[in-house]
Structure 1
Amino acid sequence: MEIKIRRRRGYIAETTVEKEVEEEEQPLSPAARLFHAPEFNCYIISVVGLKKKIQPDVIIEGIKQTLIRHPRFSSKLVNNRKEQKWVRTNVVVEDHVIIPKIETKIIKNANADAFLESYVSDLTTIPLDTSKPLWEVHLLDLKTSDAENVVVLRVHHSLGDGMSMMSLVLACTRKTSNPNELPSLPYQNRPSSGSSSLKTSSRYYSRFFWLVTVLWTATMLVLNTVCDALEFIATTLFLKDTETPIKGNFGLSTRKRMCMVHRTVSLDDIKLIKKAMKMTVNDVVLGVSQAGLSQYLKRRYDEKKKAGEQEESKRNSSNILKGIRLRGALLVNIRPTTGIQDLADMMAKGSKCRWGNWIGYIVFPFSIALCDDPLEHLRRAKSTIDRKKNSLEAVLTFVVGKILLKSLGVQRAAYVLNRALSNTTMSFSNLVGPIEEISFYGHTVTYMAPSVYGHPHALTMHFQSYMNKLTISLTVDPTVISDPHKLCDDWEESLRSIKAAVQERSSTQ
């Protein structure tokens, strides 16, 4: 009996050792390998504004207690001949926290924002050191127009997608009203009318009508998915967007310096429009973006004309805009909802929440036009997004990406995906943030502006909500879009005109 017990204990010990080895070394997932390919070497960067001066020791100690407990933030990339692996290593947090010396007397408030933009732009040209975990935090003692100090977090996209990264950062924050509580995200109403409509159908309509409705919905889902799949194939092979002043010519070019700017607007204005038009926040943001892009392109085309041809210029610009094919790659999170608590547990005791890159793409056609009625942009955006919701395009692109990686290998799969995205114009994403004020290791947050670079687009638009504000982050190729602040102005002006149209419509009704 004693021998059996000893053997069982030995078996447990061997199993524990095997598990420790597995945890110490893990091969890169296909998606992580893709993000290390030269054609698709992507980084996630987030600028966070704080309400008070940074205390570096406090933030460093906080990172030691939370962030580095996550496996990806405590593992370095090891390239072997056969495979790439994540290997656990001892992390020296001080090596990842960068505190640049800034002559605050020289940099006045007037050009502090420009200094921040230049600093972040320089970071886009510097690769992370692969001899240590692929992340870094920059603490800037810099007073800008909308923050007392600034934190810049930069991580390699192979560590995870934007949704998981943002959730992980939020797991490191706490409510300012209660420092022991994690942030609360707004409750996302999923359409629950389906079950009630089925009950209503069985109650008031015949079973035949209910069956026809279900068959029609399923048929449209299949047809839309097939059409979207054919468009994706055509985009990869030959279907290109119109060459406009905001479309870059990346192809397989080397890394370019990117410029990142942000603008904060009232989320209450978005919600006012949403309620009046019976839409979602995403519908409104897409509609305003269509209007802003239309105004920006009109100005760029008008600038090419001579001052003496104003009337002709107006007519030509209108005709040119009508014929534009401009599509954006909308990033869609396809994983089951991961709570902030799950990620907090992961850093504390190893939660099994689904980490990594679980994103699909939707090729979204932006309607570029000069509309007499500003609300027309909202209607067109809602019509398109409703059609896209009744499709499995996001899941399909995710699955196809995995199949390409397994069948063609990383280099060829990266070439195919790079080509597909290069034939579109821009990237677009929208992230939901906390509904109350939060603090980052004791430092109250004023705004969060996340973005990504390294993919073949000259324009990337990210939207991040926080409390009652919405921050617009534009990452642009300055050789293509040299005036990103004007695009922010056009977006704001479009929001104001749409809000005014909604208020006028409400008062009339």
Structure 2
Amino acid sequence: MTRLVPMSSVDAAWLGMEDPTNLMMVTGVLALDGKVDIKRLRTLLDTRLAPFGRFHQRVARPRMRGGMLHWQDDSQFDIDNHVSHIALPPPGGEKALRELVSELMSTPLDTTKPLWHVHLVDGYAHGSVVLARIHHSIADGIALVRVMLSLTDATPTPKPAKRKVESTNHAGPLDWLPGLLDNPARLADLARLGVQGAYRLGRMVVLPPDPPTAFKGELGRRKRAAWSAPLPLEDFRAVGKAFGATVNDVLVATATGALRRYLENRGEPTKGVAIRASVPVNLRPLEQAHKMGNSFGLVFLTLPIGISDPVKRLRSIKKEMDELKRSPEALMAFAVLNVMGYTPVAVEKAGLRFFGSKATAVLTNVPGPRESLYLAGRKLDSVMFWVPQSGHLGLGISILSY
């Protein structure tokens, strides 16, 4: 008999957010400096993902309405069902890759199998691309970056496979407080939840809907992937140091400026315009980054598109970011997700629509590796990823440093 592991209510909430117009997948692209052999990649995935048991488990739905979801070991697991080999149409290049990423991020995963798939793509520049699609119910961005890093090496020579890692995230009445009792630094957050938490939750509820802009509209099933050229991290560090801001503050201010420019190029008004982004906040201690499951809260961050001066824009964002860091809003959002995971899907979707109306975009920044890495013997040239947008949001902005 195959093993059943109760799904945490937060992971169940992310599974319940699945919608034909917003698939709850994290999509990642790893561009390599040479061609990768499909057999070598398949063997690498089979051995390196084995320590993360969740990649061998499928979703087991209850026979009775209202029953608990479980992760179930897939007795029919076959790595060939999760690895595909395709080639970009000639002449290949960035446009063809964008079209492929857009198509695949619009294609649902097979729910009868573990919720992930990797595509080896040939015909891009001078090397291969590894394109991974992983359902958000398996893990959050921090954990998935660690998973992807487990596939890489510091040198072209492969390292031995890792030992088995327990990836359970059992459901329970206190599963919305991950690591709080083991992390004294989080106890202050717990103490503030009583008063400040109620205030912040009330603030989230009474926020007015975001204003209509070109970034909001009726959602379709087809998604469009895009990316910028890489930007030097040292430039962001220098700007942050000059203005007493963090690298993240500068990145968010830069993204806000790009959104302003987009509206201006469309001839749309920007004076006084401000939109909100739903920003994930990691609640997982770094030493637990390898564990599967979702352990983050969400905060609403105002993006002051109407501020034309880049310095004033940066200071405005830094001020609000500092305030959000001191508040328990992320913990309260995590608690709300925990409750939503226990509710019927119809109730959950209604809650998503309500909170989703208060934002325009999802914006996330995940720290990546600080040194050069190799995958299947090939140097990793670049890493990109796209997060799903819940609550009928149509715009996602993902930032990763490498």
The alignment's TM-score, normalised by the length of structure 2, stands at 0.83
Do the aligned residues in 1 keep the contact of 2:211 with 2:275 (CA within 8 Å)? yes
The equivalent of 1:243 in structure 2 is 212
SS at match of 1:86: strand
The equivalent of 1:55 in structure 2 is 37
Structure 2 CA distance, aligned partners of 1:91 and 1:441?
22
Measured against aligned partners, the alpha-carbon deviations of 1:395-434 in whole angstroms (never above 9, x if no partner) come to 011012212333x334312320233123310000000011
Larger fraction in helix? 1
The correspondence for 1:43, drawn from 25, 33, 50, is: 25
Structure 1 CA distance, aligned partners of 2:241 and 2:23?
40
Do the aligned residues in 1 keep the contact of 2:12 with 2:341 (CA within 8 Å)? no
Instruction: Give the RMSD, CA atoms, in angstroms.
Output: 2.7
Give the 5 Å matches for 1:159-170. 159-170=138-149
Structure-2 change in CA distance of 1:404 and 1:133 (3 Å): closer
The correspondence for 1:356, drawn from 270, 280, 293, is: 293
User: Share of identical aligned residues, percent?
Assistant: 25
The equivalent of 1:458 in structure 2 is 394
Residue 134 of structure 1 deviates from its aligned partner by 1.1
The equivalent of 1:136 in structure 2 is 117
Structure 2 CA distance, aligned partners of 1:74 and 1:334?
26
The equivalent of 2:71 in structure 1 is 86
Do the aligned residues in 2 keep the contact of 1:35 with 1:41 (CA within 8 Å)? no
Measured against aligned partners, the alpha-carbon deviations of 1:430-476 in whole angstroms (never above 9, x if no partner) come to 0001111011232211111111235222211110000xxxxxxxxxx
Give the 5 Å matches for 1:331-346. 331-338=280-287, 343=290
Residue 231 of structure 1 deviates from its aligned partner by 2.4
Do the aligned residues in 2 keep the contact of 1:224 with 1:390 (CA within 8 Å)? no
Residue 219 of structure 1 deviates from its aligned partner by 12
Structure-2 change in CA distance of 1:121 and 1:234 (3 Å): same
The correspondence for 1:122, drawn from 86, 93, 103, is: 103
SS at match of 1:401: helix
Do the aligned residues in 1 keep the contact of 2:9 with 2:340 (CA within 8 Å)? no
Structure 1 CA distance, aligned partners of 2:275 and 2:195?
23
Q: Which runs of 5 or more structure 2 residues have no equivalent in the other structure?
A: 162-188
SS at match of 2:397: strand
Residue 390 of structure 1 deviates from its aligned partner by 1.4
The equivalent of 1:387 in structure 2 is 323
Measured against aligned partners, the alpha-carbon deviations of 1:57-114 in whole angstroms (never above 9, x if no partner) come to 11111112111342110012232313432211242112211112445xx325xxx211
SS at match of 2:123: coil
Do the aligned residues in 2 keep the contact of 1:248 with 1:425 (CA within 8 Å)? no
Structure-2 change in CA distance of 1:222 and 1:295 (3 Å): farther
SS at match of 1:301: coil
The correspondence for 2:55, drawn from 73, 98, 116, is: 73
Structure 2 CA distance, aligned partners of 1:334 and 1:116?
34
The correspondence for 1:107, drawn from 73, 77, 91, is: 91
Q: Which range moves more in the overlay, 66-75 or 430-439? A: 66-75
The correspondence for 1:150, drawn from 116, 119, 129, is: 129
Q: How many equivalent pairs are there? A: 367
Which amino acid in 2 is paired with 1:107?
P
Structure 1 CA distance, aligned partners of 2:62 and 2:341?
19
SS at match of 2:277: strand
The equivalent of 2:171 in structure 1 is none
Structure 1 CA distance, aligned partners of 2:210 and 2:148?
35
SS at match of 2:324: helix
Do the aligned residues in 2 keep the contact of 1:228 with 1:393 (CA within 8 Å)? yes
Residue 128 of structure 1 deviates from its aligned partner by 1.1
Do the aligned residues in 1 keep the contact of 2:360 with 2:395 (CA within 8 Å)? yes
Do the aligned residues in 1 keep the contact of 2:9 with 2:339 (CA within 8 Å)? no
Do the aligned residues in 2 keep the contact of 1:121 with 1:258 (CA within 8 Å)? yes
Which amino acid in 2 is paired with 1:419?
F
Structure 2 CA distance, aligned partners of 1:70 and 1:450?
20
The equivalent of 1:490 in structure 2 is none
Residue 382 of structure 1 deviates from its aligned partner by 0.7
Structure 1 CA distance, aligned partners of 2:12 and 2:196?
31
The equivalent of 1:10 in structure 2 is none
Structure 1 CA distance, aligned partners of 2:52 and 2:348?
29
The equivalent of 1:96 in structure 2 is 82
The correspondence for 2:242, drawn from 250, 259, 276, is: 276
Which amino acid in 2 is paired with 1:242?
P
Measured against aligned partners, the alpha-carbon deviations of 1:357-376 in whole angstroms (never above 9, x if no partner) come to 112101001112243x4211
Which amino acid in 2 is paired with 1:321?
K
Measured against aligned partners, the alpha-carbon deviations of 1:103-131 in whole angstroms (never above 9, x if no partner) come to 5xx325xxx21111111111133211122
Structure 2 CA distance, aligned partners of 1:41 and 1:28?
19
SS at match of 2:226: strand
Structure 1 CA distance, aligned partners of 2:271 and 2:378?
46
The equivalent of 1:30 in structure 2 is 9
Do the aligned residues in 1 keep the contact of 2:49 with 2:55 (CA within 8 Å)? yes
Structure-2 change in CA distance of 1:257 and 1:230 (3 Å): same
Do the aligned residues in 2 keep the contact of 1:46 with 1:154 (CA within 8 Å)? yes
The alignment's TM-score, normalised by the length of structure 1, stands at 0.67
Matched, 1:229 2:201: yes
Structure-2 change in CA distance of 1:376 and 1:102 (3 Å): closer
The equivalent of 1:421 in structure 2 is 356
Which amino acid in 1 is paired with 2:145?
M
Structure 1 CA distance, aligned partners of 2:357 and 2:155?
43
SS at match of 2:124: coil
SS at match of 1:297: helix
Structure-2 change in CA distance of 1:91 and 1:63 (3 Å): same
Q: From the CA coordinates, give the structure whose radius of gyration is larger.
A: 1
Structure 2 CA distance, aligned partners of 1:222 and 1:86?
33
Matched, 1:257 2:207: no
